[in-house]
Structure 1
């Protein structure tokens, strides 16, 4: 019975991270200048915006939960699961930076002066580094999710749920990249789809982590014993 909390703690940590990563949903309540689908979600944490500390702290907590849990699980794992958990660590570190060291100076989609300064490269190195940390977070999430799907192939229900999450994340990421090349009002909508995919991945990873054997063989996921014939 004493093993129960140990099994559940990684899953609970990642589930909480998935919920907190959706803090942009309360953005319009704290900062009415932004609608639910307006601009970049990261602009809510820009240092000139009201309640930016709330959203920055949210990113920091998510990053701490993800990176700490990822390190613990990666040390136990072997094979593809290890890639999944190290991808989680990369996401966690990058997300923590997003809300702190590389938070934006201002909100370029809502402030023409900020947008102009950004084009001229006249904003701080922190602002300019934000795109790097944000991109690293997305890449870490994608690597982790793909590794989990490879490790779980043949397990019907967990694998299928993972495919749903992967579809949402990939569609949101592709749409965001297209909109970045041709900016218009749909950028916020596509990025929110991407963020929903990342939140879904965190919760999905939490479910996988909660089912992982906490012993010396933890992280192997025991996928071989449950694969369908011919998978």
Structure 2
């Protein structure tokens, strides 16, 4: 049985999106002036930062790849849960674009007086996470209903979802006046989001097993009463 072209395209787009989405290691090779352990990744494309155009552009490319992959899968999908999940993933990409369009004004981790909470950026970031976790929950439920459509997602997806939620919650310290090490947990969260994209891509890349109809038991001849 051959892999449908739409599934193959969606898998490739999501895999590429996973790699591009995790662009934060570039900060180890660029003089950003930020401490990765104690700064948000979104500070890399804050409005007054030297590499805001570069990191903002990479974020937009990642969003385009994920949106294309999600919409490709959505167009070929049957079933309300799965379609809602792929739609939520496309929403995640759209909100990620909005996140770049209304960036943080400055890097709060290194600039005294810079506000940690930028209302519009905080709102778009919240919507990004809402759409992400909605896509995870819906696609996990869809995979449990029909495991052959997304092999591996039903079993491994809940682990990734739990870890991603835990790392996301661990990044909110600065919003409540308790900064420190939130950069580590956020970057771990970004890696887990990439793992989720790869998990979806792996499931899409698996050739669905053909459905074998149940064999009917052969009918035995009725015993004859004649001798």
Matched, 1:64 2:75: no
Q: Kindly indicate whether the alpha-carbon contact (under 8 Å) linking 2:95 and 2:128 is maintained by their aligned counterparts in 1.
A: yes
Q: Kindly indicate whether the alpha-carbon contact (under 8 Å) linking 2:3 and 2:206 is maintained by their aligned counterparts in 1.
A: no
**Larger gyration radius, structure 1 or structure 2:** 2
User: Greater helix share, 1 or 2?
Assistant: 1
Matched, 1:21 2:21: yes
The 1:108–1:198 alpha-carbon spacing in structure 2 relative to 1, beyond 3 Å, is: same
> 1:138 — aligned with what?
129
1:114 is paired with a residue of what secondary structure? coil
The 1:146–1:179 alpha-carbon spacing in structure 2 relative to 1, beyond 3 Å, is: farther
1:9 is paired with a residue of what secondary structure? helix
Q: Which moved more, 1:62-71 or 1:42-51?
A: 62-71
2:114 is paired with a residue of what secondary structure? helix
Q: Find the aligned partners of 1:52 and 1:76 in 2 and give their Cα distance.
A: 36
Q: Find the aligned partners of 2:178 and 2:109 in 1 and give their Cα distance.
A: 10
Q: Find the aligned partners of 2:99 and 2:128 in 1 and give their Cα distance.
A: 9
Q: Kindly indicate whether the alpha-carbon contact (under 8 Å) linking 2:43 and 2:104 is maintained by their aligned counterparts in 1.
A: yes
Q: Kindly indicate whether the alpha-carbon contact (under 8 Å) linking 2:60 and 2:97 is maintained by their aligned counterparts in 1.
A: yes
Q: Kindly indicate whether the alpha-carbon contact (under 8 Å) linking 1:61 and 1:96 is maintained by their aligned counterparts in 2.
A: no
Matched, 1:180 2:175: yes
The structure 1 segments of at least 4 consecutive aligned residues displaced by more than 4 Å after TM superposition are: 1-5
C-alpha distance after superposition, 1:45-98 (max 9, x if no partner): 112112211110111011112223222322332221112101111110011222
- The Cα shift of 1:104 comes to 2.0
Question: What runs of 5+ residues in structure 2 fail to find an aligned partner?
Answer: 214-227
- Listed as ranges, the matches of 1:30-49 within 5 Å are 30-49=30-49
TM-score by length of 1: 0.78
C-alpha distance after superposition, 1:12-53 (max 9, x if no partner): 101111111111122132134123322110000112112211
Question: What runs of 5+ residues in structure 1 fail to find an aligned partner?
Answer: 120-126, 214-220, 226-231
The 1:2–1:208 alpha-carbon spacing in structure 2 relative to 1, beyond 3 Å, is: closer
TM-score by length of 2: 0.79
Q: Find the aligned partners of 1:112 and 1:82 in 2 and give their Cα distance.
A: 46
The root-mean-square deviation of aligned C-alpha atoms, in Å, is: 2.8
Aligned residues: 207
